[in-house]
Structure 1
Amino acid sequence: MQYKQNGVTSDWGKTVFKGIESNQLHLADYNIKQINQEKEKRTAYLKEVFSLFKESDVTLIGTPVYWLSMTGYLKTFINRFTDVIDEI
């Protein structure tokens, strides 16, 4: 599935951090699946994402809205958070 890395949500984040050094992370670039993924592989991706969060002073989470809800990428990320909460 294609997604827009430079869409409206991305532009909004760039506007919020205009003039401030920042990095954007796109959850769709990580292989965090909803089901049928071995825990070791799943947590490896989550640990990578959360290590970037830990290095940040500020974290802004943005998502396009589809059918009045967040994207599946963000929902899965939030659901999987409990897999690594004790390790971060």
Structure 2
Amino acid sequence: MINSSEPVRFTANGDWERTPLRFTLRQLEYFVAVGEAGSIAKAAEQVNVSPPSISASIVQLEAEFGIQLFVRKHSQGLSLTPGGRFFFQ
């Protein structure tokens, strides 16, 4: 069982491991905006930044957590993966 106050990340086999995580509140703001909007373009409008900035932040978060947070459906926007939904909650 993992103590919720300790930093964790997913391993390649789907388990958790304790490790320090590094991300910014801005990256979290962008993640939430994309999760709510379902689109990088719409999220970028809401937080008043460029879509490439949002996209880069999401990619950095995914690398930091070691999981894919969104399924990219180019013409249909984005949807949260199971790991993304867990993190979003």
Normalised to the residue count of structure 1, the TM-score between the two structures is 0.31
Q: Which has the higher strand share?
A: 2
Q: Which has the higher contact order (CA 8 A, sep 6+)?
A: 1
| TM-score, normalised by the number of residues in structure 2 | 0.31
